[in-house]
Structures are given as C-alpha cells and as structure tokens.
Structure 1
C-alpha cells in the first residue's frame, strides 16, 4: 500500500497513527469482540470513551467549566441555520462579518430566522483581504456576532480574535480549530465540522457558554435545541459513534504531539515554507491574498500561465501529491495544511514546484 501526501481541503488527511489504531481496533474494540460502530451508544464502554474524548478536548483547548461541549451530527452548514434558531428570538438581529464563501453562506442560511446585519464585508475586494476592523458597523444590541476565522475556499484567516464588546462572539472554526492555542473565554459559541482538523465528516464539535443555552430562541423541535443536546450529553438521538471515536483518537494524538502550542509551531513552519516557495519563485507562482490575511491552513496559489494548470495537476497526482486543484469557483491551486499534514509533505510539494518550474519554465 502506498500512502500519498494528502492536501485535500476536506474531508482531509487524518494522522496515520490514528488510522492505524482504528484499523487494529476495527473488529475488536476495547476487548468487546465487536467494532465501536456496533456498540450501543448508551453502553458503558462507549460512554467512557465519549467522556474521555470530551476531557481530552477540554485539556487541549483549556475549556472552562462554564462551557458545554457537544458532539453533534451533521456538518457546520446545518448550524448556519441552527445557531440563529437557538441564540435569537423573533425580531432579533445578529451581526455577520463576511470574509469569504462560508461566511457569506452563513448569512444566507441565517436569513430566514432573524434580521442579518452584514456589519462588514470584503466582497468588493474579491475576498483577497479581511474587512478592516475600523469599518465594522456592530450593533451593541445584536444577539451575537458571527465570523469565520479561516475561509477554506478563499484562503484568508483572522490572526487575532476580534474584540466585539459584550455581545457573544460566534465562530465557525471548522478549518482551523486545534491548529493553535485559543482563548475560549473570548467566545460565546465555537463550532466546527470535524472533517478538517478533528476526524471524519458527519460530526460537528460545538463549545458553547452555558448561559447561552438558556436563551429562549424560538419554538422548535427538541432535536434542534442545543440545550436539549447538552442535557442529554450529546445523546438526545443516536450520535455519530464512529466519528466521535475517531475524533477522540485524534485528541489523544494531539496531546501526544505536545498539544496546541506544538501544533502551532509546526503549522507556522509548514505555511512559511510554502509561502516562501511561492514568493521566491520569481513570479512563476503567486498568491493573491493580502499578506496580513494569508491563511496557514489553506494556501492558494496560481501558476503564471493557466495553460500549465492541467499538467501541474496531472504531474502532482502522479508524484503522490493529492488534491491540489483549487476550488471550482476560483481555479488555480490550493494546498490545505491541516494538523495531520506533516512538514515532509510540504517539503515534497515545494521540491516538486521548483522542479516543475525548471522543466516547464
């Protein structure tokens, strides 16, 4: 079996050590004689695993006791709608910061449930930079402020947590959660689709300040209410047991790597190496993003001649460098450098890029 260097934007690379352990335990998990996918989610073994996964995530992120941790089914897009349902009542408004595709989609999905105030947007700049903080038009009476710290498609990232006063800050951290230390106290609610830095698709991890669970929201079925999921320990209905298990293994792997400080150092090294190769190519490759907004997780780049794109992608795949094609809306290339992508993968990509430029210059 030949493993490739996987630069997929999501579902993305998982740590080989996590996959190997899951492989070993697939038929006989925890001495049970059955896989984790065949276990009752209300059985002692699974509950112990779930509690350990939450404890490990709390240790990694230093999550305070006044925050609940939820392991929910679905994807982050579902919560673009579910968050306003839970945090805002009829007639309420919320502020949204639009910095790319996913924050714009969050606006469209929230629209049926509350008044959306687009407090700032960089759409006029083609999302090549972040909305200047001095220009944000925030409402002190907003139910919350929503932003996307890292835009997977457009390749921009907030490198500081914005100050928004007393209004709860809500963050879609799908593509950069666990990539560096984060002060959870700065947020009212954090949510993340698992399929980039946590585990397989089909699971959402949510960290929510407990007082926000008490908001009346609007009339809705119990299955949509976060307070009900918190009260049931994320087992209001049958959870994604496989996703929860693999995420727990990833948390253990991260702790074994030295935690989020070690991951931050590694992630900066990976991004720096790739951006240096792009910037140092004499214009053969280019990254269009404002320097202050460049993403560490999703690095966009373009070749100087788009006629070479097909050859570049064909040759990278042949060289074992997977999923470098940019999003269809933007074209070009994109390398996603999530936690499970090692520095060796970036070094292999950089060497390929230099060789390709020599051969096709």
Structure 2
C-alpha cells in the first residue's frame, strides 16, 4: 500500500511502532495470552505502566524532581476547561483569548467566578498572539493556550506573572523545549503528541490546590486524583498504554530537544514554500506562526479544487481547515515525517505550473 500523508489536526498521526505495539497488545499483552483491553486497572502490570508513563511525562517536560505531579484523567482537555476553575477559581481569574479553545475555557470559568479577559486577538480573527499587555496582581490564576490549532498561532514565550499560571498545552506539548517550570498547571488532551484520544494529561504543583473553600465532587477534584495516583476510578487502560508507548518512542528519538529540531525543519519547509508562492497565503502573522498547525488559503476559490485533486493523487489526507474558518490546515505533529511535508510542498509548487 502506498504511503498516506496524514495531516489531521487531531486525533493525529502516531508513530508506526506505536500502532504496531498497541495492536499486538490488544491481541496478546506481553505474551500473557490476555488482551490489554481485558486486564485489571489494579493489576501490577498496569500500575507499573501507569507509574512509568507519569514519570516519563514529567521527565520529558524537564519537570522531574521539581515538585510536580502528573495525572492521566478521563474527559480530555474540555473537561479541564471546567476542572481548572472548579479547583482554582475563588473570585477572579485572567484569561488570554487567542481563539476557540480559549473561549470555551473562559465560558466554563464564568460558572465559578469572574473570568477577566486580559488580552485578545479577536479583533483580527485570532491571527496573532497579544503582547505587551498588563497582568493584574491578586488573580486566582492566569490562563493561556500555548497553541491555537484552528487559526495557526503559537505563543513564543511564556506570559510573565506572579499569579498562578495555567496553560492549555494540548496541541504543542512535547513538540518544543519550553520553560515549563514557569507554569504551575499544564493540561493537554492526549490526542496530539501524547497518545490516543480519550484522556487528558494534567501536570501540576500540588501546593496550588486547596484554596477555594469549595466542596469539589471527587471526580472533579485534582487532590482526590493525586491521592489515588490517577486511579480514583477505573482507568482508561488502553489509553494510558498508548501514551506509554508514544512517550517511550519520543525518548528513543532523543526527547523533546531532538524532536523540536525535526519540527523546525518541517515548519520551515512548509512556510518557505507558502511564502514563495504568490497565490497562497498564510493566515497567521509571521512572528506568531504555529510550528504545529500551518493554516493557509488560496487567493482564488477555484484553486481549491485543483489543490484537492493534487492532494488526492499524492495521498495527502485530512488537510482541510477547521469547519469554522475554512481554507487549509497542515498539522505537523511529532510523528509526521519530513517526507510528508516535502510531498505537500511539491504539490503546492506543482500548482504554479497550472494556475
């Protein structure tokens, strides 16, 4: 079968060896004769996997032995939009609005207190990252979304604040070296650079909890999940196992520092191609372009059909833009090869011979 070049924004491409190992585990986990879908979440085999996965998740972020704990929880990042203010918001929190996912997080925070928008890029259709804005003191926390998958923008530096800092890092976690120890709580849906959809990873300093004087249902309580080592309820065994396999793969590549070099090459090749063609345009301001989600559109609508046909011939799939904005989006997550980006660049260059 010819190679498929999958640019899906999420659930995203995972490494071939993760697919192969997880498929084998469904049939026969560790030569036990039992499927991983049927082993106990309380078994020694699974608890060892869970603990190693939690350990790797901290190590790869440079947070091991720095006072952080890692949790694998069900519900994805959308659940964390709610769980963060449930655990942290007493009176007022500050949010930096850079798009759809920020807005969803803001709406959930309003249930528990004031969600003050500190800065927003909505005035230019979220095509940039706000800068040089004031962050007040005495906020319960400040929240930002490190990468905007829909509009293709990305924070290049961490907001400076003395408040508790929270980051939704769903779409660029483990893709680049970032000063994560400047952030007090990181959450991410795992379906980008961590594993298969259905879980969220939460990394936090335990000392930030317990200040709301609010009764928190156990399922929503970070402290309860910490007390139970991510086993308050039946764990998503297979989901955690795919995270285990993928983080092992990342370590084998040389970790985040090594994968960032590859991601930089992929992004540079695609953006250079777009910038050299006068009939295709990127949607994000150049200084804020995402290295995970490159968004672009064609000058003339009739070019879309030509591009779609060329992509079909080249086995390029899942490159349409988000339904709310249209255009195109090439997602360049860790497992996507440089070869796939070269194929896409070739297709774009072919168009100049046609249009």
Separation (CA, whole Å) in 1 of partners of 2:308 and 2:238: 33
Q: Is the 8 A contact 1:36 1:242 kept in 2?
A: yes
SS in 1 for 2:194: coil
Separation (CA, whole Å) in 2 of partners of 1:215 and 1:185: 21
Deviations 1:103-144 (A, max 9, x none): 122111211111011011111121111112x223x2211000
Separation (CA, whole Å) in 2 of partners of 1:212 and 1:61: 19
Deviations 1:240-266 (A, max 9, x none): 111100001000000000111111111
User: Which residue of structure 1 lines up, in the alignment, with residue 294 of structure 2?
Assistant: 299
Separation (CA, whole Å) in 2 of partners of 1:21 and 1:114: 45
Does residue 144 (structure 1) correspond to residue 145 (structure 2)? The answer is no
Aligned-pair CA distance for 1:81 = 1.3
Does residue 109 (structure 1) correspond to residue 108 (structure 2)? The answer is yes
The TM-score normalised by the length of structure 2 is 0.97
Deviations 1:287-330 (A, max 9, x none): 13111110000000111211221332243134211111011111
Aligned residues: 354
User: Which residue of structure 1 lines up, in the alignment, with residue 333 of structure 2?
Assistant: 338
Q: Is the 8 A contact 1:313 1:324 kept in 2?
A: no
Separation (CA, whole Å) in 1 of partners of 2:213 and 2:37: 34
User: Which residue of structure 2 lines up, in the alignment, with residue 4 of structure 1?
Assistant: 4
User: Which residue of structure 2 lines up, in the alignment, with residue 309 of structure 1?
Assistant: 304
Separation (CA, whole Å) in 2 of partners of 1:171 and 1:308: 38
Structure 2 unmatched ranges of 5 or more: none
Structure 2 residue corresponding to 1:157, chosen from 143, 154, 158: 154
Q: Is the 8 A contact 2:87 2:210 kept in 1?
A: no
Aligned-pair CA distance for 1:77 = 1.2
Q: Is the 8 A contact 1:85 1:217 kept in 2?
A: no
User: Which residue of structure 1 lines up, in the alignment, with residue 272 of structure 2?
Assistant: 276
Taking the TM superposition and a 5 Å limit, the aligned residue runs for 1:44-193 are 44-65=44-65, 66-89=67-90, 92-132=91-131, 134-136=132-134, 138-164=135-161, 166-193=162-189
The TM-score normalised by the length of structure 1 is 0.95
Aligned-pair CA distance for 1:3 = 4.1
Q: Is the 8 A contact 1:86 1:217 kept in 2?
A: no
Aligned-pair CA distance for 1:189 = 0.2
Q: Is the 8 A contact 2:269 2:341 kept in 1?
A: yes
Aligned-pair CA distance for 1:285 = 1.0
Q: Is the 8 A contact 2:58 2:69 kept in 1?
A: no
Q: Is the 8 A contact 2:89 2:109 kept in 1?
A: no
SS in 2 for 1:317: helix
Deviations 1:179-220 (A, max 9, x none): 012222101100000111111111100101010233345222
SS in 1 for 2:329: strand
SS in 2 for 1:234: coil
Does residue 22 (structure 1) correspond to residue 18 (structure 2)? The answer is no
Structure 1 unmatched ranges of 5 or more: none
Alpha-carbon RMSD? 1.3
Aligned-pair CA distance for 1:101 = 1.4
